[in-house]
Amino acid sequence: MTVQQRPASVTLGPVLFNWQPEKWRDFYFRIADEAPVSTVYLGETVCSKRAPLIEPYYAEVAERLQAAGKSVVFASLSEVLSRLDRKLAEQICTAEGFLVEANDGSALLHLKGRPHHIGPLMNVYNERTVAFLAGNGAQNVCLPVEMPASAVGALCQATRDLNVSIEVQVFGRQSLALSARCYHARAHGRTKDSCRFVCEEDPDGLELSTLDDRKFLTVNGVQTLSYEYLNLLREVPALRAMGVSRFRLSPHTIDMVEVAKIFAGVVAGGLGVEEAASRLEAMKPSAPFANGFYYGKPGYTWNGASAV
Amino acid sequence: MPETYTRPELVCPAGTPAALRTAVDAGADAVYCGFQNETNARNFPGLNFTPAELEASLGYAHAREAKVLLAVNTFPPAGKFDLWRDAVDIAARLKVDAMIVGDIGVADYAAKTYPELRLHLSVQAGASSPEAIRFYCQAFGIKRVVLPRILTVAEIAELHSEIPCEIEAFIFGNIGMMAEGRCSLTNYATGLSTNMDGVCSPAADVHYEDDSEGNLTTRLGPFMIDCFAGGENAGYPTICKGRYTCSANTDPYYAFEEPISLNLSALLPDLMKAGVTALKIEGRQRSRAYVKAVVAAFRKAVDDVMAGNAPALANLLALTEGHRETQGAFRSKAWR
Amino acid sequence: MPRSTRAAPPASSLRALLENIPGFLLAAAPLAVIQPILGHIAAHVAKNRPELFARLGVHARKRFLIDPTDLPFVLVLSPDNKRPQLRAYRRYEKPAHHAAIAGKFMILMEMIDGTLDGDALFFTRDLRVSGDTEAVVALRNALDDFEGSALDSVVSSFGPLAKPAALAVSALRSMQASHRHA
């Protein structure tokens, strides 16, 4: 029994936050030129109102990434409700010439029978679900961020004969919840319809603290994320051994090219885990690291090497 | 000229066999319940049914022409699928009137193994658009969708014409702010998952502290969720009903929602006109006293509407969280 | 379909007497007098409702402090199915416990009897919970599966004394109902 070894690589998830369109474009230009990532996911997954802001730059960003040898996958909207949402989901899913990552059930209908990816905001927890989705056309599944290592391992084991690669987020704030209500707008006394894009003020999200002044969560429009940044750098070798072949970074304002180099070094095996870990720690992101979900512990916790 | 309606099914919660009998006696058309494990989204200590209790409860309900729906609506992590498969097998053997599913793998197993078993799509599946609902209907022969509590009545009416299955909508009870089935906040704070373990704010991680001045502090794990002054109505320590601060609000505010309950009794005729054929009451974790009061009130209200009268609505405020109620998303988009 | 309506309110003199039960009768009653009654209740429930212990699971071995805040004593319930105990203590004795439930005597009684909703009482701050919250939830859920009225069952178990006890309970209920709607 040998674990099927697919070539391993680092991928870059979609920008979840509302960045200025030109900043968004320049971020991807630099990724195209400098970041050692195999696949880049593009698109607005959180809020359909934001989508038109970056749309004008899709073509040139995708071209630049592809010219640099990177695969481009368009990520679909995660919470599809209004007419606008539905239209956006359909547009993305029916675009010619690109793979699409499905982030909600409506995308599964649009993409049925065509090759596609499944995003981490879909609930794929077990082999039976993977097998069904593979029959629908799925080629790659990024697992939910809350999956513990035991379930990731069991899922990889049980799906290795399916033609589906398994991807896991290893860096960045962890998406914890989606809602129909916009909490950025609410924080400013507005509603989703009258938001005036106030989320653009917080390029890494709006941090919430508890009443006793403990940083807790991060608000990003209708999405709620962890305050801490997920860091599974030390767990990459174990994930690789389980059969995970794609390691996803979620973009922040921190230098993502450097983050990608560190993770790519570990994934490729050229960079020692401890050296890589100290390089990542030296970058000092704006919040502490966490890795609790992986160990079946509370997601905010940090578990040292002894937890392995 | 009074409107004419299709008689809707009143779908009521039961956390114990006694609560199930209470619901049936109070006029429930259908009762939903779950097993004593993580296969359902109300996996609370001391709650739920053994297979033997479910069998006896089916007998009680069927003798009184009420249906029993079984929720197998959580998401089995790889390595634990057997527990969910057993739940489906038992449901099929005992001939429950329908099974409520959320996971694609569980739905696939049930649809392929027991094609005669009626499937409802749980709110946990988070199917909020006609396209998502059609996907599940095509894939698994879903007969009814339980809608997320995020649509307006107008949107429900529009949706009704675009999907091939029945619609069940929540009309009363606890209102979670996050899209159902898409929330890991509990797991983030406690290490137990709503999707995989069937818990939201598990009691083992809930701590209440009363201080000498009468303030009540509620915590989930190490996180302070709220602090209520003496006399102020309290809520569950669920993360989405907590008070926080942020750079835009240095004074504590309810960042997601206040402690509040959904009550759509005033919108019943509108919902029935919109094509909702099953009206769901939340609260499997609540007491028989709650079940009796709420089911009886809605039984009467629905019967009033059917008879062409304005529904006489009992005051259910005493049972609501924070003693406040809302029509949530159902009235207008401004809620978002 | 609705259950039979409850007994008519008692004469006002009886009601006045009952209203004074907590402060007057029980305050004076030595615990030694109360204790056999409590022991009987525990034994009766254990014998007639074994499934209660299955619902309690691991929590059956815990000690629950039941604190009727308007009475001069507290109760400790150890629902262990082999040796269930319900014991009274003076409040100052501060008996050891895993979890505590506090509220007015009548409120606790109606919650145990399934006529008031525990969550609603918590929302309005009429019920306070501390310590092992999971154990309290398990106990609440286990008691809530008690068929019919737990109090009726216990009352009838007192045999020849059942009639006066039943009268007292029904009077207490009416009194409580009128308080609630006042």
Residues 20-49 of B with CB under 8 A from A: none
Closest CA to B240 of B306, B331, B187, B177: B177
| Band (A244; pLDDT cuts 50, 70, 90) | very high
The verdict on A181 touching B (C-beta cutoff 8 Å) is yes
Q: What is the pTM of this model?
A: 0.92
Q: Which two tokens stand for residue B204?
A: 């083992």
The H or E element spanning position C134 is helix C133-144
Does residue A104 register a pLDDT over 50?
A: yes
Instruction: Give the tens place of pLDDT for each residue, B217-239.
Output: 999 999 999 999 988 888 888 99
The verdict on A123 touching B (C-beta cutoff 8 Å) is yes
Residues 177-196 of B with CB under 8 A from A: 177-179, 181-185, 187-191, 193, 195-196
- Counting CB pairs under 8 A, whether chains C and B reach 3 or more, is yes
Does residue B10 register a pLDDT over 80?
A: yes
What is the C-alpha to C-alpha distance for residues A29 and A43, in angstroms, rounded to an integer?
15
Q: Which of A108, A124, A187 sits opposite B255 (nearest CB)?
A: A187
The full set of domains in chain A, from first to last, is: 9-174+229-307 (3.20.20.70)
For residues B100 and B72, is the Cβ–Cβ distance under 8 A? Answer: yes
| Mean pLDDT value across chain C | 75
> Is the model more confident about A299 or about C155?
A299
Position A305 scores a pLDDT of 59
**Chain B residues closer than 8 Å to C177 by CB:** none
**For an interface test with B, which of C137, C152, C153, C179 has the most B Cβ atoms less than 10 Å from its Cβ?**
C137
**What is each CA distance from B305 to A137, B171, B269, in whole angstroms?**
47, 15, 7
For residues B27 and B10, is the Cβ–Cβ distance under 8 A? Answer: yes
Position B104 scores a pLDDT of 98
Position C76 scores a pLDDT of 94
Q: How far apart are the first and last CA of chain B?
A: 35
The full set of domains in chain C, from first to last, is: 12-176 (3.30.1050.10)
**Distance (Å) from the alpha carbon of C37 to chain B's nearest alpha carbon:** 27
Instruction: Give the tens place of pLDDT for each residue, A115-136.
Output: 999 999 999 999 999 999 999 9
Of the listed ranges A269-273, B171-175, C46-50, the least confidently predicted one is: C46-50
**Chain A residues closer than 8 Å to B128 by CB:** 79-81, 104, 180
Closest CA to B18 of B71, B57, B65, B67: B57
Instruction: Give the tens place of pLDDT for each residue, A138-151.
Output: 999 999 999 999 99
Position C52 scores a pLDDT of 82
**Distance (Å) from the alpha carbon of C160 to chain B's nearest alpha carbon:** 29
| Band (C16; pLDDT cuts 50, 70, 90) | very low
The verdict on B127 touching A (C-beta cutoff 8 Å) is yes
Of the listed ranges B166-180, B185-199, B230-244, C159-173, the least confidently predicted one is: C159-173
**For an interface test with B, which of C59, C111, C119 has the most B Cβ atoms less than 10 Å from its Cβ?**
C119
The total number of residues written for chain B in this structure: 336
Position C13 scores a pLDDT of 41
The full set of domains in chain B, from first to last, is: 9-175+260-335 (3.20.20.70), 186-254 (no CATH)
